[in-house]
């Protein structure tokens, strides 16, 4: 029998229905696991054990009384600490906001509570979702459960580490240049950046208004669809929110890939940023796996990663500067060095640089849209390297930007990153699937077919 | 430090950062230059920025726009 901490949310819901597990039994098991393992992982900034256990008792009573709220009822979820949870600090992992107690839940947290999910605590991030991994912040950096000497990706670091380690089955992260998909890649789990505007950003500390997304991190594709079902939806209080009718994002999970056209963007990892050999081999194997499953895989060419990255950085730095300028002027010493160095470039961007990047953005969006006229889904690398050692900042600085996630922050298309194997070092490597706007269901369909055929989701990190 | 960087930093109000973290200010200025030169700004004068201007509340159709109802 699977240990409770390794059950997926879907399996937990089934166990609740079968009465083979109760919300309080699960919460007790998870809290014990967190107590034992989190000191080695630093996934949490703030564990809210008392409130979580109280919510588990409430869920147990409701379920027993037949007041069932749906598939996430009584399921624990961790929240990245740039997302507001009423009554808890939203520190953004920074000295700047260390005492910043949220007055209200973010929209996504409201939706999770309506769905009956249980907020278990606030999770480590890079400072303001940009400065990390760092040791000069008020909280230590999260560590990778596959090898605690290595980083777990970021900036949703605690979300990735905690889900992968079985501390909680579900987590929310945010993604401005790849920060949901990076920890998913580094930790061997599933991370989705939805279409821009599908999930409300209300109550999420902004990094870059036109690039920010909230997304789910889970151990299975089916769980990812369940969590997205709960958090998606129009929000008039989010200026970028989209009125999309899309729902039931898991409705195609068992349809396979036979007949689907998948465009493989090979130049990302072969020419633009040549990938580590183990990553390249895993991508070749993923292509074979999907072809064997019946997909029609074709080559696709997009603008270069260097150009996508340049557009992303000019926009991100300009928008982030407009948020952080007052603190950078008055309290530069209260930032860690990485955040300070990554936020200050905005001071040297001109209005013309920003508008120029936004004009080029329109063109690269059109290029990706053109590609998606001819194929149903794109496939490409996520990270070009397995995660580096936390005590090797030079290698981390070299490898962190070697990724193919920022293109889809620039364009706003939905993109999922997931485990595609293990490097010879025992660290996860990954693949990314990208779809048309608001067609998360097809992206997750391909991800589910790959997951079932490849079977990497059954591998667990060597921890506890 | 390049006097142009110093002048731009002062114009941005970064006097304290210039005093306390001059290396970070210099690195940031160099990073900004690298980033902006990676962008191929469209030559077509009519190429518009993203997102396009849209009147009304919400950017995704008349369903949430007072003007369309």
3-state secondary structure A391-460: CCHHHHHHHCCCECCHHHHHHCCCEEEEEEEECCCCCEEEEEEEECCCCHHHHHHHHHHHHHHHCHHHCC
Cβ-nearest to B32 among A317, A356, A362:
A317
| pLDDT of B67 over the 50 cut | no
Cβ-nearest to B40 among A244, A330, A360:
A360
A374-405 core/surface letters (b: 16 or more CB in 10 A; e: else): ebbbbbbbbbbbbbbebeeeeebeebbebbbb
Contact list in B for residue A311 (CB cut-off 8 A) is 38-39
Give the separation between CA A194 and CA A216, rounded to whole angstroms: 9
Q: Does B47 touch chain A (CB under 8 A)?
A: yes
Give the separation between CA A164 and CA A144, rounded to whole angstroms: 9
Token readout for A56 is 């588990």
Residues 275-314 of A with CB under 8 A from B: 306-307, 309-311, 313-314
Please check whether residue A415 is in contact with residue A181, taking contact to mean a CB–CB distance below 8 angstroms: yes
Q: What is the pLDDT of residue B63?
A: 43
Please check whether residue A320 is in contact with residue A343, taking contact to mean a CB–CB distance below 8 angstroms: yes
Q: What is the pLDDT of residue A346?
A: 98
| pLDDT of B62 over the 60 cut | no
| pLDDT of B69 over the 60 cut | no
Q: What is the pLDDT of residue B57?
A: 56
Strands A118-123 and A44-47: antiparallel
Q: Hey, are the CB atoms on B29 and A360 less than 8 Å from each other?
A: no
Q: Hey, are the CB atoms on A348 and B24 less than 8 Å from each other?
A: no
Please count the other Cβ atoms lying within 10 Å of the Cβ belonging to residue A58: 16
Cβ-nearest to A344 among B15, B17, B49:
B17
Residues of chain A with pLDDT under 50: none
Give the separation between CA A140 and CA A148, rounded to whole angstroms: 13
Tell me the shortest Cα–Cα distance from A47 to chain B, in angstroms: 34
Give the separation between CA A278 and CA A427, rounded to whole angstroms: 10
A103: annotated active-site residue: no
Q: Hey, are the CB atoms on B60 and A344 less than 8 Å from each other?
A: no
Please check whether residue A220 is in contact with residue A457, taking contact to mean a CB–CB distance below 8 angstroms: yes
Q: Give DSSP secondary structure letters for A233-289.
A: ---TTSTT--------TTTTTTS--TT-EEEE-HHIIIIISPPPHHHHHHHHHHHHH
pTM, 2 dp: 0.96
Please give the interface size between A and B, counted as residue pairs whose CB atoms are below 8 Å apart: 134
Which chain A residue shows the shortest CA-CA distance from B37? A310
Arithmetic mean of pLDDT, B15-37: 96
Handedness of CA A266, A342, A151, A396 (dihedral sign): positive
Q: Residue B65 — pLDDT band, cuts 50, 70, 90? A: very low
Please check whether residue A231 is in contact with residue A194, taking contact to mean a CB–CB distance below 8 angstroms: no
Which DSSP helix (H) or strand (E) runs through A332? none
Out of 3.50.50.60, 3.90.1300.10, 3.40.1190.10, 3.40.228.10, the CATH code matching A4-257+415-458 is 3.90.1300.10
Which DSSP helix (H) or strand (E) runs through A329? helix A305-330
CA atoms within 13 A on the CB side of A134: 24
Which chain B residue shows the shortest CA-CA distance from A361? B50
Q: Per-residue pLDDT tens for A117-158?
A: 999 999 999 999 999 999 999 999 999 999 999 999 999 999
Which DSSP helix (H) or strand (E) runs through A108? helix A107-114
List, in order, residues 6 or more apart from A436 with CB less than 8 Å away: A372, A376, A413, A414, A442
Give the separation between CA B53 and CA A455, rounded to whole angstroms: 46
Domain boundaries, chain A: 4-257+415-458
Tell me the shortest Cα–Cα distance from A185 to chain B, in angstroms: 25
Percent of chain B residues past pLDDT 90, beyond the cut? 71
Please check whether residue A22 is in contact with residue A16, taking contact to mean a CB–CB distance below 8 angstroms: yes
Q: What is the pLDDT of residue A138?
A: 97
- Give burial (CB, 10 Å; 0-12/13-18/19+) of A66: exposed
Cβ-nearest to A332 among B21, B39, B41:
B21
Give the separation between CA A276 and CA A386, rounded to whole angstroms: 8
**Residue A274's closest CA among A359, A385, A110, A196?**
A385
């Amino acid at each position: 029998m699977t240990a409770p901490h390794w059950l997926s949310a879907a399996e937990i819901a089934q166990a609740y229905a079968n009465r083979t597990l109760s919300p309080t039994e699960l919460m007790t098991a998870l809290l014990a696991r967190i107590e034992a393992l989190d000191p080695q992982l630093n996934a949490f900034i703030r564990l809210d054990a008392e409130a979580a256990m109280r919510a588990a008792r409430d869920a147990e009573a409701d379920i027993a009384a037949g007041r069932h709220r749906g598939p996430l009822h009584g399921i624990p979820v961790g929240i990245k600490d740039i997302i507001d949870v009423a009554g808890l600090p939203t520190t953004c992992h920074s000295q700047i906001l260390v005492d910043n107690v949220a007055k209200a839940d973010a929209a996504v947290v409201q939706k999770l509570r309506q769905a009956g999910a249980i907020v278990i605590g606030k999770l480590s991030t890079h400072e303001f979702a940009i400065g990390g991994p760092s040791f000069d912040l008020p909280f230590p950096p999260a560590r990778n459960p596959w090898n605690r000497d290595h980083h777990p990706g970021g900036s949703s670091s605690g979300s990735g580490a905690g889900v992968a380690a079985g501390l909680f089955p579900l987590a929310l992260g945010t993604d401005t240049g790849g920060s949901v998909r990076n920890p998913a890649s580094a930790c061997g789990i599933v991370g989705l950046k939805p279409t821009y505007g599908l999930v409300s950003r209300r109550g999420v500390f902004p990094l870059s208004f036109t690039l920010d997304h909230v997304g789910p991190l889970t151990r299975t594709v089916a769980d990812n669809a369940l969590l997205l079902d709960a958090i998606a939806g129009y929000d008039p209080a989010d200026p970028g929110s989209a009125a999309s009718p899309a729902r039931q994002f898991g409705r195609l999970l068992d349809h396979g890939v036979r007949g689907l056209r998948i465009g493989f963007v090979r130049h990302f990892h072969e020419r633009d940023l040549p990938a580590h050999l183990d990553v390249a081999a895993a991508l070749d194997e993923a292509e074979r796996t999907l072809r064997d499953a019946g997909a029609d895989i074709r080559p696709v060419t997009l603008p270069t990663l260097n150009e996508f990255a340049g557009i992303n950085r000019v926009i991100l730095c300009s928008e982030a500067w407009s948020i952080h300028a007052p603190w950078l002027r008055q309290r530069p010493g209260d930032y860690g060095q990485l955040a300070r160095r990554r936020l200050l470039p905005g001071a040297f961007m001109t209005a013309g640089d920003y508008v120029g990047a936004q004009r080029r953005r329109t063109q690269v969006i059109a290029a990706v849209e053109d590609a998606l006229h001819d194929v149903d889904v794109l496939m490409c690398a996520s990270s070009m390297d397995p995660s580096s050692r936390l005590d090797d900042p030079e290698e981390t600085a070299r490898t962190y930007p070697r990724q193919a996630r920022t293109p889809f922050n620039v364009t706003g298309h939905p993109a999922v990153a997931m485990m595609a194997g293990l490097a010879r070092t025992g660290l996860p490597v990954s693949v990314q699937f990208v779809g048309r706007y608001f067609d998360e269901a097809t992206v997750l369909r391909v991800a589910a077919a790959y997951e079932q055929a490849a079977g990497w989701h059954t591998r667990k990190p060597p921890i506890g | 430090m390049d006097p142009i960087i110093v002048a731009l930093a002062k114009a941005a109000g970064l006097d304290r950062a210039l005093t306390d973290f001059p290396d970070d200010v210099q690195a940031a200025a160099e990073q900004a230059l690298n980033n902006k030169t990676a962008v191929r700004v469209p030559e077509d004068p009519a190429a518009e920025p993203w997102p396009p201007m849209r009147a009304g509340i919400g950017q995704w159709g008349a369903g949430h726009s007072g003007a369309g109802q």
